[in-house]
Amino acid sequence: MGHLWGAISIAALIVAGQAAADDQARTVETAKEKAEVLEKKVADKGVKAHPSPEATIKKSEAQAVDPAGKGALNDPITCLSRTIYWEARGDGAVGMEAIANVVMNRLGQRGFPGDVCSVVKQGHEHGACQFSWWCDHRSDDAKEVNSYALAKEIARKALNRQLPDRTGGALYFQRLKAKSRWSKEYVRTAKIGKTVFYKPPVATAK
């Protein structure tokens, strides 16, 4: 009898484990689907209404996506989170939010793609990435658990349109000590930590 109950218990654990895995997979898929819808609404500058509570990405949903920070960059949450992480993980929450602002501001603007992953990867085909971490030939895996979790929470809020734009509509940024010709042609909109943010003098991006 003891062996029978032991076998039953093991079977029950296996079933419970599979059910939990299925629930996790559904949570991830739901988060990705919501994110794709939300990024399209952000890119469509004519859509002003904020998403309904049912359409927004929940914290648990965002955190379930790519929990180890090693997944493929093929969905809005992962692409945005990894960009926030690599561009500003040492700049605190405000600095990280500002990077999210730049990515979201680019969506739907002339000269930029209409989805997050394409914005993040733009320029790679010409060897001049808009976001340097994407083509620096180093690993793109996140290594700091807490910083990556914060990046995902900021990405969630950005996609939900729950973040204030700390950059004043910036489409570009560079470190304070960096020197570039393009920055002289653009309007400086904000300085956050050691990063300076810019936008073109007219609404059209170059």
Assess if residue 206 is contained within a domain.
Answer: no
Provide, rounded to the nearest whole percent, the portion of the chain with pLDDT above 90: 67
Backbone angles phi, psi at 192, to 5 degrees: -125, 110
pLDDT in tens, 32-65: 999 999 999 999 976 778 899 999 999 999 999 9
pLDDT band at 7 (very low <50, low <70, confident <90, very high): low
Assigned domain for 106 exists: yes
Domain count, the chain: 1
Q: DSSP letter string over 6-33?
A: HHHHHHHHHHHHHHHHHHHHHHHHHHHH
pLDDT tens digits along 118-159: 999 998 766 678 888 888 888 999 999 999 999 999 999 999
Q: Average model confidence (pLDDT) for the chain? A: 88
The residue type found at 157 is K
Q: Is residue 13 part of a domain?
A: yes
Query: Residue 164 domain-assigned?
Result: yes
Within-domain flag for 64: yes
CB 80 within 8 A of CB 100: yes
- Domain residues for 150? 2-199
